[in-house]
Amino acid sequence: MNRSKHSFFHLLTVSSFVLLSHSVFAAKVTLEPSSWGLEEGKACVDCHAKSSAGLTHQWKNSAHAQANVNCLDCHQAYEDDADAIEHEGSVIATIVSPKDCGRCHTAELKQQQGSVHTKAVSIINNRMPALAEHFGSLSINDAGCAKCHGSKVIVRGDGTLDPSTWPNSGIGRINPDGSKGSCSACHGRHQFSKAQAREPAACTYCHSGPDSPDKSIYETSKHGMMYEAHKADMNMDSDSWVAGKDYSAAPTCVSCHMGAAGKMKSTHDVGMRDSWNLNEAVSTQQYLVIFADGEKRELSSSDPIPRKGESISKMDGTMGKVKAVASPKRRRAAMTKTCLECHSKNFANNAMKQFDEVVKLYNEKYGKPSRDIMQALYAENILTPLPFDEPVEISYWNLWHKGGTRARHGAAMGSPSDTWKGMADVGSLFYGKFLPQVRKVAGAEKGDALIKQYINESEHHQWLNHPAKANPILGYGKGSSNED
């Protein structure tokens, strides 16, 4: 085991590309072994072996128990722990936050903090507070949204945790000590195993359901097919897990979004290698800005791109000094590095080109025109500003969020089934619901004018200008449809 003190300093001096591809150091634990295995912690094990035998058993089978890291080493309370409680003669906190784990796992903490996962609570407020309120309610938030996105944990006066906010291990949980996220979102407790976190299920627990089609996409991709057939050859519990070296049967989510490949090390920042934003109404390519304090934010390629050393506003509105900027091209190059362990360069680049073309088609044919029409309807007060109170708003949301996301993610991750399902949903919604609802809400004359302005002039919708053609769907014109 290598426990040498690795340096923060190194991380602060590397260039943006190095940050993407070599930023991570293998499991080096920052503290010296003599600083854990607290004597007082042995009593916890003895008593909990009776009072909660299952939990203690999980711990006994963990790398932590083997390395002599005990209950108190993780659960001891610190000065900034609002949730410190007196328990059987020790001061402990039930919540073990990323900051607590980060005492020993500095590198993982550093990568995880500032990553897109830690923004998962604020993204709801930034983008779609109405979604939770109008479609759901507080109870749906507590048992639904917050389970994946994370709660803001509230500590009551006596140090106990408010039951509407905990238990929770959401990916962006706001902890009493101010840190964000929950390491046990992926590393189930009390084993905290890396093998288990490499499984697709560690991600699809959240990356499924209305907001994320990725479970279905992976399962209907060739990668998912090969993974299913060759699970036993994946070498999941190997210490080192480098694509092409330690396994080759198939990539999992982790291989592409976090994993090591060639000289590129593994990272706990899952968003590093993504060049687009595929979960918005219109996709744009994204620069990643890394601040001196480790915070990060994405900027669209149409925004002004800052230089190193400049001060710009961070996601939370405060100013930060730019340490490095990674372009969409760099981020794509990092992702493609993984492919190259198992595929040729032409193969990987062509696959990426097929994906990018689907994103562009979606943007130009459906994403932009529907967005522009919606903006016009709001600007002219034809729609109220209140989201979701008019049918066309619901169709628009389903168009980009449900169908549009599925099609774009499907193409990104090699599922022909979901690419087509997503695009078929987009097309049916667009022509079958959205456009008729625009005519209805705006009136036929205004509606037709908007449709003409944004749709009819576009090359993508020229087929609408040939209404007299035979209709093979109804069986008419059979045998004649190829004649012209």
Residues 243-302 touching ligand HEC, rule: CB under 6 A, are 243, 248, 250-251, 253-260, 266, 268, 270-271, 274-279
Residue 154 interacts with ligand HEC (CB under 6 A): yes or no: no
Between residue 333 and residue 362, which ones bind ligand HEC under the rule CB under 6 A? 335, 338-339, 341-343, 348, 351
What is 414-450 written as a DSSP string?
A: T-HHHHHHHHHHHHHHIIIIIHHHHHHHH-HHHHHHH
Other Cβ atoms less than 10 A from the Cβ of 432: the count is: 11
* Per rule CB under 6 A, count of chain residues that contact ligand HEC: 133
Tell me whether residue 41 or residue 369 sits nearer to ligand HEC (CB atom). 41
Query: Cβ(458)–Cβ(368) under 8 Å?
Result: no
Q: Which stretch binds ligand HEC (CB under 6 A): 60-68, 313-321, 454-462, 468-476?
A: 60-68
Instruction: Scan for tokens 């991709």, then name that residue.
Output: 221
| Position among 64, 330, 365, 421 found at the interface with ligand HEC (CB under 6 A) | 64
Query: Cβ(227)–Cβ(250) under 8 Å?
Result: yes
Between residue 185 and residue 214, which ones bind ligand HEC under the rule CB under 6 A? 185-187, 189-190, 192-195, 197-198, 200, 202-209, 211-212, 214
Contacts (Cβ under 8 Å, ≥6 apart) of 406: 213, 217, 418, 419, 421, 422, 425
Tell me whether residue 71 or residue 377 sits nearer to ligand HEC (CB atom). 71
Between residue 421 and residue 480, which ones bind ligand HEC under the rule CB under 6 A? none
Closest CA to 274 of 330, 224, 322: 330
Q: What's the min distance (Å) between Cβ of 423 and ligand HEC?
A: 17
Q: What's the min distance (Å) between Cβ of 47 and ligand HEC?
A: 3
Residue 392 interacts with ligand HEC (CB under 6 A): yes or no: no
Tell me whether residue 81 or residue 274 sits nearer to ligand HEC (CB atom). 274
Tell me whether residue 140 or residue 464 sits nearer to ligand HEC (CB atom). 140
Q: What does residue 319 show for φ and ψ, rounded to 5 degrees?
A: -85, 150
Q: What's the min distance (Å) between Cβ of 415 and ligand HEC?
A: 10
What pairing do the DSSP bridges indicate for beta strands 242-243 and 260-261? Answer: parallel
Tell me whether residue 279 or residue 458 sits nearer to ligand HEC (CB atom). 279
Contacts (Cβ under 8 Å, ≥6 apart) of 439: 447, 448, 451
C-alpha angle 204/207/212, rounded to 5°?
145
Q: What's the min distance (Å) between Cβ of 393 and ligand HEC?
A: 14
Residue 236 interacts with ligand HEC (CB under 6 A): yes or no: no
Between residue 79 and residue 138, which ones bind ligand HEC under the rule CB under 6 A? 87-88, 90, 92, 94-96, 98, 100-105, 108-109, 112, 116-117, 119-120, 123-124, 127-128, 131-132, 136
Closest CA to 190 of 310, 337, 55, 26: 55
Residue 145 interacts with ligand HEC (CB under 6 A): yes or no: yes
Residue 170 interacts with ligand HEC (CB under 6 A): yes or no: yes
Closest CA to 38 of 95, 5, 77, 82: 77
Q: Which residues of 396-409 are buried (b: 16+ CB within 10 A; e: fewer)?
A: bbbbbbbbbbbbbb
Tell me whether residue 119 or residue 461 sits nearer to ligand HEC (CB atom). 119
